[in-house]
Structure 1
C-alpha cells in the first residue's frame, strides 16, 4: 500500500494539505508507512520542508494506491481504480460536482469523503470547521472595521499563524457593537474562540436583547432561540432536526438588535431562513455585516443575501435589500456580505496541522488495518463503478 499526498488543483488556489512534513515523516519513520508527496508550488508547506525531513517529493504518482487531497480533484486528474480521500461536496447534489462524481463512477474509483468519516454515533471525526469559524469571525470584524473606520485589523491570510492574531487583538479597541453568532458545532466554537480572544464579552441571549451596553458584546444562539414550532408546541430539538419544515423563524429580535451576524449553522433544506428579503427591507433591520460561514447560496439558504461565494482575494460584496441585488461593499444602504467558502485557507499551516493530527489519531489506523473498516465503509460514496447503498439517492440526479 502506497499513499500519496496530492497537489491541489482547485481555483481559487488551495494551500492546505492533509498532512504536514513532520506528520508524514512520523508516519514513514515510526509506523513504516510508504507515503510520498506530489510536488506543489501552492501548498502552504514547501517541497523543501518535506525533503528536509527525508520525505520523497515526486512528480509521477501513478504507482500509488491511495491519494489524500483536500478539495475536489478535477475529473481529468483522477486515476482509474484508485482510492481517493477528499471533500467531494457531492452528497447534497451540488451541481458543480455532478461531472466529478460521474467520472468517479466511470473510472471505478473508491471515493471516501472526509465529511462522512464518523464514529458509531454519527459524530464527525475530522474537519476544518473550527478554523473556518475562527477565520470567519475575524473576517466579520475586519469587514466592520473597513465599513466603519473605527479601528484597523489585518487580514488573517497575512499572518503566519493565529498567535500573531492574538497579539494584535490585545492592542485594538473595538467600539460598543452587538454581534449575534449562530451555530454551536466546530464552526461555532472556532468563532467563539476568536470573539473571546478579541475581548468581546459574551452575553446570554435574553440579556443581549434587553440590555444596553457601552462595550462590545456577542451572544451565541441555539436553535430554540431562533426557531419555534408552527403548532405552538414547546421547542423539541429532535423534531427540529428530523422535520425542520414544521418550524418558523423567531430570529427577528436579533435582526433588530445586532450590528453583525456570524452564521455557522448546518443548513437543512426545509428549515426556515433566519429572515426574508422583505424583512431585510424593513427600516428596523439593523444588521450591517453578515459573515456567512455556512455559505449556502440563496434561495437554498438560511440567509437570502448570500447570493454568491466571495473569495479570499475579494472577500466582501455589498447587498442592497431594496433591489435584492449585489452592489459595491461598504455603503450605508447595503449589507456587507463575507461569504468565503474556503476560510481555513487563510490560516493554512495551523489548519493543516490540526487536520493531520485528527487523521493520524482517528483515521490512519482504520486505513492500514487488514480487516475491513466499518468507518471507511460508511464514508465511501462510490466504489467499483457503483454508488454505495447509502448514496443511491444520488442516482437519478447523476442520470438526469
Structure 2
C-alpha cells in the first residue's frame, strides 16, 4: 500500500534552517518500498538536491508545494510555514507549535480549517506509551549547553555558524583547562535534551547537577540560583509553577548568571521560564535579562540542532523514516496525531462560538 503515498519535502522558509527531516539515504529506502518522494530545491539544506535525485526522488522548485503538490501529497518539513493567510489543503507533517496557545496558533489552525488540510505535528507523533517516536531533543540539549559554556568562557562568537560535532567538541575541550569553578545545572536531565546537555557539559570538563521530576516537584529555588549556569530542557503540556521568576532575577544574592533555555516555549502558558518574551537568534545568540550586577544572560534559540545539521538530521531521519513507511497503514502514531489536530480545531471552534 505504500506506493499510494506521496511525500513532498519542502524547502524551509527560515533562513537559518539547515536540517532535513529525511536524509537522502533514508529517502532511498522509502523509495525502494514504493513511496513517491518529491524534494524541493533548497540553497540552505545541508544535503544537496542531487543526493535526493540519485536516491530516486523527483525534484521541484523551491517553495512550490502550495501550487504544485498534488492534493493527496503529505508536505514534509520542520519549522514554520511561510507567513501567509492562504488556506492549507494538504496534510502537513512538521513542528506546528499550535496546540498550547502559542502566538499565531489560532491563525494557523484556521488556515487548515479553511483549506480542508490537516497538521500531523511532529511533536505529537507518539507511540502507545505516549513517547515521541522522533525527536531532535538530544542535539538541542547538546548545542544549548555547548553555547552556554562557550559564552561563559568568552569563546562564543556571533553570528553563529553551522558546524559538526568534532569541531564543536574541540572548542569545548580546548577551553576546559581554564575553567575549574563553573557550576552548571541541567533541569530535565533524564530526557533526550537533558542527556544531550549533560554530555556536552562533560565534554567541556564540567560535572553538572542533574535535576528531573523529583527535584522539579519540590523546587529548591535557592539551590537553583546558586549555580553559575542553568540549562532548561523541560517541555510540559500542562502549566506548572515556573522554575524562574522575575523576582528571582532581582535577587541580590543570585549567583546564576546564564540561562540556556533549550525548550523555548516562550509564548505558551506552559512556559516554565516566564522571564523573557522573545527568543534569541543566530545573529544575536545572547541577550541580557539583567544588565546590572548581578548580571544575567539568556540564550534561547529555537532551532539549536540546525547548528549541527548533519548529525541532527541523520538521527531524526532514522527515527522518522520507519513511520513514514507506514503512513498508508494509518497506524496509531498517525491516527493519534490526526486526533490531536482535530481536537485542537474543535476546541478553537468552541471557543469562538462562546
For the pair shown, the structure with the greater C-alpha radius of gyration is 1
Q: 1:224 is matched with which residue: 209, 214, 217?
A: 214
Aligned residues of 2:255 and 2:294 also touching (Cα < 8 A):
no
Residue by residue, what CA displacement relative to the aligned partner does 1:163-182 show, whole Å, maximum 9, x if unpaired?
Answer: 22223333332332100110
> TM-score, with normalisation over the residues of structure 2?
0.86
Q: Which residue of the other structure, out of 146, 149, 152, is the alignment partner of 1:138?
A: 146
CA deviation after TM superposition for structure 1 residue 224, in Å: 2.3
**Alpha-carbon displacement from aligned partner over 1:109-167 (angstroms, at most 9, x marks no partner):** 02211111111111111111111101100111122122xxxxx3568954531122223
Instruction: Say whether residues 1:339 and 2:300 are aligned partners.
Output: yes
CA-CA distance at 1:51 after TM superposition: 3.6
- Alignment partner of 1:178 is 2:168: no
Matching residue of 1:374: 332
The 1:45/1:120 distance shift into structure 2, 3 A limit, reads same
Q: Is the 8 A contact 1:130 1:186 kept in 2?
A: yes
Cα distance in 2 for partners of 1:68, 1:316 equals 31
Distance 1:185 1:394, change over 3 A: farther
Which residue in the other structure is 1:297 paired with? 266
Q: What residue is the counterpart of 2:17 in the other structure?
A: 14
1:324 paired residue number: none
Distance 2:126 2:335 in 1: 10
What SS class does the counterpart of residue 337 from structure 1 fall into?
strand
Q: 1:312 aligns with which of 282, 294, 300?
A: 282
**Residue-pair matches, total:** 340
Are 1:365 and 2:325 matched, yes or no? yes
Distance in 1 (alpha carbons) for counterparts of 2:238 and 2:125: 22
Q: What is the alpha-carbon distance in structure 1 between the residues aligned to residue 149 and residue 47 of structure 2? A: 28
- Paired position in structure 1 for 2:48: 46
Change (3 A) 1:388 1:165: same
Query: 2:202 and 2:275 mapped to 1: Cα distance?
Result: 27
Aligned residues of 1:3 and 1:66 also touching (Cα < 8 A): yes
Q: Structure 2 vs 1, CA of residues 295 and 175 (structure 1 numbering), >3 Å: closer, same or farther?
A: same
Tell me which residue corresponds to 2:347: 393
Q: How does 1:181-196 map to 2 (within 5 A)?
A: 181-183=186-188, 184-196=190-202
In structure 2, relative to structure 1, the CA distance for the partners of 1:20 and 1:299 (3 Å cut) is closer
Computed over aligned residues only, the root mean square deviation of the Cα atoms, in angstroms, reads 2.6
Encode CA deviations 1:85-131: one digit per residue, 9 max, x unaligned.
Answer: 11111110213232111011110002211111111111111111111
Secondary structure of the equivalent of 2:198?
helix
Aligned to 1:235: none
Would the aligned equivalents of 1:93 and 1:397 in 2 still touch at CA under 8 Å?
no
- Are the equivalent residues in 2 in contact too, given 1:135–1:156 (CA < 8 A)? no
Q: Give the drift of 1:317.
A: 0.5
Secondary structure of the residue aligned to 2:11 is coil
Mapping 1:30-41, distance limit 5 Å: 30-41=32-43
* Aligned residue among 43, 54, 57 for 1:55: 57
Query: Counterpart of 2:9?
Result: 5
CA distance in structure 2 between the partners assigned to 1:53 and 1:398 by the alignment: 47
1-structure distance, mates of 2:268, 2:10: 35
Alignment partner of 1:258 is 2:227: yes
Which of 87, 90, 94 is matched with 1:86 structurally? 94
Does the aligned pair in 2 maintain the 1:128–1:355 contact within 8 Å? yes
Contact 2:158 2:284 in 1 (8 A): no
Deviation of 1:308 after TM superposition, in Å, equals: 1.6
- 1:282 corresponds in structure 2 to 251
